[in-house]
Each structure stands twice: as C-alpha cells, then as structure tokens.
Chain A
Amino acid sequence: MLDVKLFDSTDEVAWCPGCYNFAILRAVKQALASLDIQPHQVMFSSGIGQAAKLPHYLKCNLFNGLHGRTLPVATGIKLANHALHVIAEGGDGDGYAEGGNHFVHAMRRNPGVTYLVHDNQIYGLTKGQTSPTSEPGFVTATTPFGNFNFPEHPLAVAVACDCSFVARGFAGDAERLAELIAQAISHPGFALVDILQPCVTFNKVNTYQWYKQRVYALDQTHDPRDRGAAFAKATEWGDRIPLGVIYRNDRPPLESLLPQLKHGALAAQDIGADRREDLIANFR
C-alpha cells in the first residue's frame, strides 16, 4: 500500500464546495495506492465535464481530450502501451450521451481500460440540463415541461454488450467505492464502474438522502457470472438500487489477442527498419 499523498496534485480544484467528486477523488487515490500503482504507471483519459477534471487533481499521466471521446483515446493509449494502467473518467453526459457510440464499441472491443463514470443524472459543468440518465419528468433548464425521455440504464446496456466487468458504486461511501475501483483496475478487460453521485448544486431530486434510502450492497447470493441474474440486477432501479459487482466474465482483453503485442508494448518495440526491402519486393 502506497501513501495516498503520493497522488496529490498541485492543481487548484474548481469543484463546488461539498461536491461528491471529492469523495470519488479520494477513492481513486486510495484504489491506486492500495494496488501499489505509481503515478507514472497510470494514464488517465478524460473528456469534458466536472468529472473529467478529476485526473488534474491527481498526480498521474493524463490526456484530457474532447467531450465524449475518452474511450477512443483510452483505447489508443492502451494499444500503444499496454504496460500502462489506463483509466477513462467522465460523467454521464460525456459517456452516455456524447460518447454513447464509443461506450458500446469499447465494450465490444474489450481493451484493458477501467471506465469510471460519475453518474449524477444532471449536467453540472453547463449548469443544470437533463442527462441520459435523468428520470422522466425531471425539470431542468432545457426540459421546462419535465424530461419526456426514458433514462438509459448503462449497466443494462453493459450486460447486453457482454462487458467484461460491470459494477455500480456510490460516492456517498468512498471506502467501498475505493475497493470497487481497485477491483475494476485489477480486472484484465474493459471494466465499467458507474458511480452514483449526488449533485449538491443542480440536482435537488437525486440527493444524498434519496440515494441513501435506496442503495444496498449486493451479497453472496448474487452470482456476477450469471448473465441473466446480472441483467435483472442491472435493471433494478426504483425503491432499491444495487451496488457492487453486477456482472463479470473472462473475455480476454483486446491487447492479449493481438499477436503483435506478445513481444511487449508497441511503444517499446523496434520498428524493424530492415524490413523495408522485403516489403517493397511485392511491388517489383
């Protein structure tokens, strides 16, 4: 176990006071420290949104790119250097709206990438608009008559895509969240952790109390390798909301399937300049 202070960043934090992102940041640091991962051994990919700022407040490698494009960047990083621990981080708008297509295809591809989604059912950075996970009837600046759309259930989508690790955490319980994130990072393939997060400024419906009354931890009776049971848990949303590992399988990660990567990380391999004559022979 490393000292969590190793992950402290000097960057000034721009979150609202009392934001549950602070709890997630603590959990991420604790997860990395518990796995003995040094800051230079991990690379984050984040998009745009309050969640996507998190890696700036952490000592680590970071590519902070475009809104919704965290997963393609993370996939590129992982394929270029699979020795790095690669963690993609963003919010529900970033991942499930703007990046919804990449979300589905990343799960198909199954690179060894951990995906942390801060799911607060609201857009925070742009100051309070509806999100893909907002409840029907949810009144926001852009839905004055209440949201007409049904919410996406990201975990159900993930189970449907045979995502190799599907979990739900709660920012109101940073200790358990840290354990869940550590499990996700240790998982060889693509690992989704949807993190329920109260937004103290813009979401007055899904508050800490709202979540606290509903969430419960999955116990031994749930078998995360049973896809049917996992689907049932992934769609359980109402009076009771399950937390923990919903689903997992042993699909080999993408990088383990590529014979080119058996000799080491792409970034570390020789380009084999001596092959250029052989390659051109076909054209003579």
Chain B
Amino acid sequence: MIDLTIIIAGAAGQGMQTISFILSKALTRQGYYVYCYQDLMSRVRGGHNVTAIRISDRAVGSSAEKANILIALDRESIDLHAGGLVADGVIVFDGGRTPYANAALNLFPAPLERLAVEHGQNKQMANTVACGVACSLLSYDVDVLADTLGEIFAAKGDPVVEANIRAARAGFEFAEQEFKGVCPYCTLHEKRAKPERRLLMTGSEAAAYGALVSGLKFLSAYPMSPATAIMEYLAAKQDEVPALVVEQAEDEIAAINMAIGAAAAGVRAMTSTSGGGFALMTEALSLAGMAEVPLVVYIAQRPGPATGFPTRTEQGDLLFALYGGHGEFARAILAPGDAEEAVYAMGRAFNLADRYQTPAIVLGDQDLNDSHWTFDNVDFDKLTIDRGRLLGSWDKADGEYRRYHPSADGISPRLAPGATDEVQYWDSDEHSEQGHITESAALRRQMVAKRLHKLKGMALESLPPVVLDKGDDVALVGFGSSKWAVREAVEALASQGVKASAVHFAQPYPLNPETAALLGEFLRVVVVEQNATGQFAKLLLTEAGVKAHGSILRFDGRPLTAKYIVDSYNSL
C-alpha cells in the first residue's frame, strides 16, 4: 500500500496552495487518491502556512501524523517542520537562497529561485520548480505534471503556461541528476491506469456543486471563513448555468432573509456561513420554521467562541445548529464526512427542505470545506430532485388556496406566488390556515402540532449510520468530517488487538430510529468529536437514549488524525 505525505510550507503568499493543488490534481489524474489539508493562518500575507498532501492508492481522508517529504519554501519552515518527518524523511529547500547544513537531517538543497528565473519568468515561479522536484522525488511522470500546469494556467495565456512548464521541468531534471537514487521515496514508479472519472474537489466546491445540480437558483451570503469559497464558486458559475443568482448581502441577517424571500417565491434558495454568521441568522431560521419556508443553510464550522480560530477547524456548533433559533420547530441536520458525501448531502438537504417545508442545515467545517479530496465519481441517480408538494396549478373545486392547509403529515400544498390566480399569506406570527395572525388557543395547538409533526417523517427517512465493521467490542462513533480519521483509527486499533468498528453519522438530526439498536450491539460506545464538551454524545443520549462509555475530544483547532484517536483511546 502506498501512503506518502508531502508537506509544503512557507510564508503566506508564496503559493503553497497553488503547488499543493497542482500536485494533488496531477496525482489524482494518475490514479492516486489524495487528501490535502490546508493549515492556514488568518492572514493574506506574512503568516506561516502549511499544506499537507497525503497520497495513497486507496481512498484517504485524514492527515498522517508524520510526513515523508518537506518542501520548505523558507528557512522557518525547516525549523518548524523537520521534527514532523518520518525518520528518513527528506527536506527540499532553496539551497541557493538559504544555505543551510544540518548533518542530522536528510537535506535536499535545490536552487528553486535561480531555476525559476533561468527557466521560468521570475522568482515567483520557485513554487512550480518545487513541483518539478517533488515529481522527481516521487518518480512521477513529469508529462502529467506539465499537462496539469497547462490546464491550470491556460487562462493566463501561452507564455505563462510555457514558462511554468519549463520551470517544472527544470526542477524535475535538477532533482533527477542530483537526488536520483538517494531519495528513499521513489515509490510512485508504478504507472497506474488513468481513471476516466475520478474527481478532486474541496468540500466547499463539492457542496456548491451539489447545490447547483440539485437545482439551487438563489444564494445570498456574507463572506466568512471557511464558508466563503462556496459563494465564490457559485458566483463564478452565474454566467455558465442558465438560472442562478448569487447576491452578496450586507450582513448575515440580510443573507438569510433574502434566501427566505426567494424560497417563498418558489425557487430553491440557500445561504452559507460559519458559526458567527449563523448566530446572526438564528432569528430568521426560526422564521423559516414558523412560516414553513424550504430553506437550506450551510454552516462551515470553525473554532469559537466569538472570532475564535478563523481558519481552523472544529465541530463545536452541532448543538447550536440543533437548538439555534427561538421557539420550537422542525429542522434536519446533515453532516457530510468528505467531499463526496457533501455533494449528496446538498441534494438531500434541498429535498428535505422542499418536502417538509422547513429548514435543512448542512454542517461542514474548515477541514471538510478547505481540504481537497479525491473520489471516484458523482452518481447522478442519487441526486434526483423532489420538490414535494409544490404544485403547478390549483383546482378551484378544492376551495380557496390556504398556505397552511391542514394535512395528516403536517405538510400543506405549496404554490409559487404569481403562478396561479390564488393568493397566499406566509406568516411569522402564529397564524390561521390562511396565514393570517391569530390569538386562538386551538389554532396554536393545531399549528404547533402541524409543524413538529414533520420531525416524525424526517426521522423515518433519516440516513442510517455507516459502519466500517472491524469488530463488535467498541463502536468509535463520529459525525461529519471525523469519518476518515475514525476509520483509520479502527484499523490501527485492530492491529493492536482491539475489535472496534467505525460508526459514521452523516445525519445527526433527526437520528435514524435504528440508532439505539445499532449501537446496542457493541460492548462499549466511544464518541469521537472535535469539540470540548462532547456535543454529539449529548445528542445521542437525549435523542436516542444511548449513553456513551467514553468520549475522545479534540478542540485545538487541528483536524482529527488516526494517531490522535488511538492515543486517546489507549489512555481512556
């Protein structure tokens, strides 16, 4: 099995994200799976940034504890990350710009800036030279890298494309001459069959793409890390797809209210934000519950409280997503475990919102949203659009249309305003069947029951947890982006004799009714989550009556890894 990690580190603005994207894409094209995590500081320039690309011949979705290759774009990167390498790990750095010697380290000095100036256009292309060096160290096909560069820089014109390809080849050839045979990681020599359909997406791209192919027509949002990439992807698509409007609102309150207006007017609408923005949205979320508006809210979580760690990861808003908003109303919460699940989660969220006429929340986080993930393909059969009881016409024989007409399952027929000659009243006050303000106790009881009844239907069709079965002694239970770290931990525990299974919930609310029975088959239930107070463990207790035997928590802003989980498990 191939399992290699390349760390690319440097000052913000040196182009680490570009290199990591190019390498990830080139590797995906040759049949490898990558998971590329962005460890960013909340600055545009001047901070220290790191990206870690994990490469494997099977699906990966979490970071390895140690890296094999460090590409250090500045001297600070060597000092910071040399300790994060495996025993025989290698360090590529600009030996021309930063002479450095340390007999204890496996140093591979390469004149990155000099080669960039000589073969490329300027010293900024040092990162492309570094790509070429990495390509050689991995015994990877430099032609694939060149093709990828050609595509990525195509919009910048031929001179830029050609300069980048020359820079990459110069790095490659330098490394071939200087490092050939001395690098212990020439492991990608096996040329793999080129898979036709494999994809590389960030979680943000996957969520945005998933929304778009699920019929999203209106997104209003306010920029906030780590959710901004969703609106940027969609904004850029406005001239490619026939019916999409993206509006940057003046604040998150406006963002969600605009989406509510658009949804009431009959189009699939969504807003995207992080926890702080969601805090501003909660009054309107409650409105969507009361007025029965089919609305999708994407929350890319980051560590709070308040501003917290703007560019780091946490799962600290699960219970906020569940309880945010005054009063009691039905909602669904989905928590995709990777980019592939994010695509389907959006389709599911829009269908739930439309069918139950209530908000559906998709919970991501910085790890999911900013990381690049390789996955095989999107199955469009799993993305059918179901708009529920949205009708195209109204039969006058049924009397006057009433927005909140009672029904056994709590769901009323909907009409797009203006599509027929019926009128409709949507109301934030407690209301009559017509949607007019009421003070009636009987109507209040009827309408509360109507709105909450939706939870029954949503629970019955809630996604069951996905189990990676490696034994029934311990269930390592998680939701959202912990999926792959927990899976890997279960495999590592198996090798130490612990019979554990990974249980991943992609829908934390409402929980699938079989949850208690499923978890009851294990001797012990240990909940793994990225927050300090064990929020999912609380949710399992209150919603499914499952009391966990232990919790593994991480709340330092860094994503979960298998080693973190195994070490924590061993000290439980």
Distance between Cα atoms of A258 and B246 in the complex (Å): 10
Interface presence of B215 (CB below 8 A): yes
Q: Are A266 and B217 in contact (CB under 8 A)?
A: yes
Query: Closest A-chain residue to B245, C-beta based?
Result: A79
B200-225 vs A: 1/0 string, CB under 8 Å?
A: 11000100010011010110100000
Quick one: which of B200, B261, B283 contacts A80, CB cutoff 8 A?
B261
Q: Are B243 and A105 in contact (CB under 8 A)?
A: no
Q: Are A75 and B217 in contact (CB under 8 A)?
A: no
A61-80 vs B: 1/0 string, CB under 8 Å?
A: 11111100101111111111
Quick one: which of A11, A61, A270, A276 contacts B417, CB cutoff 8 A?
A61
Do A66 and B287 form a contact, CB below 8 Å, given A72-B249, A276-B380? yes
Interface presence of A149 (CB below 8 A): no
A40-84 vs B: 1/0 string, CB under 8 Å?
A: 110101001000010110011111111001011111111111011
Distance between Cα atoms of A259 and B239 in the complex (Å): 8
Interface presence of B189 (CB below 8 A): no
Q: Are B417 and A40 in contact (CB under 8 A)?
A: yes
Distance between Cα atoms of A92 and B239 in the complex (Å): 39
Distance between Cα atoms of A113 and B426 in the complex (Å): 18
Q: Are B243 and A260 in contact (CB under 8 A)?
A: yes
Chain B hits for A64, CB < 8 A: 425-429, 435, 437
Number of residues on chain A facing chain B (CB within 8 A): 58
**In angstroms, how far is the closest chain A Cβ from the Cβ of B492?**
31
Interface presence of A271 (CB below 8 A): yes
**In angstroms, how far is the closest chain B Cβ from the Cβ of A146?**
31
User: Which residues of chain B from 9 to 49 have any CB-CB distance to chain A below 8 Å in the complex?
Assistant: 29
Q: Are A76 and B260 in contact (CB under 8 A)?
A: yes
Q: Are B217 and A80 in contact (CB under 8 A)?
A: yes
Interface presence of A261 (CB below 8 A): yes
Interface presence of A263 (CB below 8 A): yes
**In angstroms, how far is the closest chain B Cβ from the Cβ of A99?**
9
Do A79 and B218 form a contact, CB below 8 Å, given A267-B267, A267-B416, A270-B242? yes
User: Which residues of chain B from 240 to 269 have any CB-CB distance to chain A below 8 Å in the complex?
Assistant: 240-245, 247, 249-251, 253-255, 257-267, 269
Interface presence of B81 (CB below 8 A): no
**In angstroms, how far is the closest chain B Cβ from the Cβ of A124?**
15
Quick one: which of B244, B251, B261 contacts A45, CB cutoff 8 A?
B261
Chain B hits for A80, CB < 8 A: 217-218, 245, 261-263, 265-267, 269
Quick one: which of A102, A263, A271, A272 contacts B254, CB cutoff 8 A?
A102
B361-392 vs A: 1/0 string, CB under 8 Å?
A: 00000000000000000101001010000000
Distance between Cα atoms of A45 and B253 in the complex (Å): 16
Q: Are B284 and A66 in contact (CB under 8 A)?
A: yes
Which of A80, A263, A267 has the most CB atoms of chain B within a 10 A radius of its CB? A80
Q: Are A63 and B284 in contact (CB under 8 A)?
A: no
Chain A hits for B269, CB < 8 A: 76, 80
Interface presence of A284 (CB below 8 A): yes
8 contacts between A and B (CB under 8 A): A56-B436, A64-B426, A260-B243, A269-B242, A273-B213, A273-B385, A279-B240, A283-B201
| A-to-B contact residues, CB < 8 Å | 10-11, 14, 38-41, 43, 45, 48, 53, 55-56, 59-66, 69, 71-81, 83-84, 101-102, 104-105, 258-261, 263, 266-267, 269-273, 275-276, 278-280, 283-284
Give 5 new A-B contacts, CB below 8 A, not counting A71-B254, A81-B418.
Answer: A38-B421, A72-B254, A73-B264, A74-B261, A266-B243
